[in-house]
Amino acid sequence: MNNSKIWLSSPHMGGSEQKFVQEAFDTNWVAPLGPNVNGLEKDLENYLGSDCYVGALSSGTAAIHLGLILLGVQAGDEVICQSMTFSASANPIRYLGAVPIFIDSEKETWNLCPVALEEAIVDRIAKGKKPKAIIAVHLYGVPYKIDEITAIGVRYEIPILEDSAEALGSSYKGQQCGTFGTIGVLSFNGNKIITTSGGGAIVTKTKELKEKAIFLATQARDNAPHYQHSEVGYNYRMSNICAGIGRGQMEVLDAHVNLRRAMNSFYKDLFNTYDGITVFTTPNEDYFSNSWLSAILIDSDKTNGLTADKIRAALDAANIESRPLWKPMHLQPIFKEYPYYGNEVAQTLFETGLCLPSGSNLSDEERNRIKTVFLNLLTKTN
Provide DSSP, 2-51. --PPBPSS-----SSHHHHHHHHHHTTTTSBSSHHHHHHHHHHHHHH-TT
User: Judged by CB under 6 A, how many residues of this single chain contact ligand PLP?
Assistant: 14
Site for ligand PLP in 128-157 (CB under 6 A): 137
Shortest CB 279 distance to ligand PLP, Å: 20
* 101 in Cβ contact with 81 (< 8 Å): yes
Among 12, 17, 34, 59, binds ligand PLP (CB under 6 A): 59
Decide: is 163 part of the binding site for ligand PLP (CB under 6 A): yes
**Is residue 55 within the footprint of ligand PLP (CB under 6 A)?**
no
Residue nearest to ligand PLP (CB): 60
Write the DSSP symbol of residue 95: H
Rounded to whole angstroms, how far apart are CA atoms 353 and 206? 39
Strand partners, 82: 103
State the virtual CA torsion across 363, 368, 369, 372 in degrees, nearest 10: 170
Scanning residues 226 to 265, which ones bind ligand PLP (CB under 6 A)?
Answer: none
State how far the Cα of 195 lies from the Cα of 197, in Å rounded to an integer: 5
Position 66 contacts ligand PLP (CB under 6 A): no
3-class DSSP assignment, residue 55: strand
The contact mask relative to ligand PLP for 85-124 (x = CB under 6 A, - = no) is xx-xx-----------------------------------
Closer residue to ligand PLP (CB): 88 or 93: 88
Question: CB count, 10 Å around CB of 231?
Answer: 12
How far, in Å, CA of 145 to CA of 257, rounded?
21
Binding mask 170-189 for ligand PLP (x = CB under 6 A): -----------------x-x
Q: Does 166 bind ligand PLP (CB under 6 A)?
A: yes
Shortest separation between residue 328's beta carbon and ligand PLP, angstroms = 13
Binding flags for ligand PLP, 186-215, as an x/- string (CB under 6 A): -x-x----------x---------------
Distance CA 163, CA 79 (A): 14
Residues that bind ligand PLP (CB under 6 A): 59-61, 85-86, 88-89, 137, 163, 165-166, 187, 189, 200
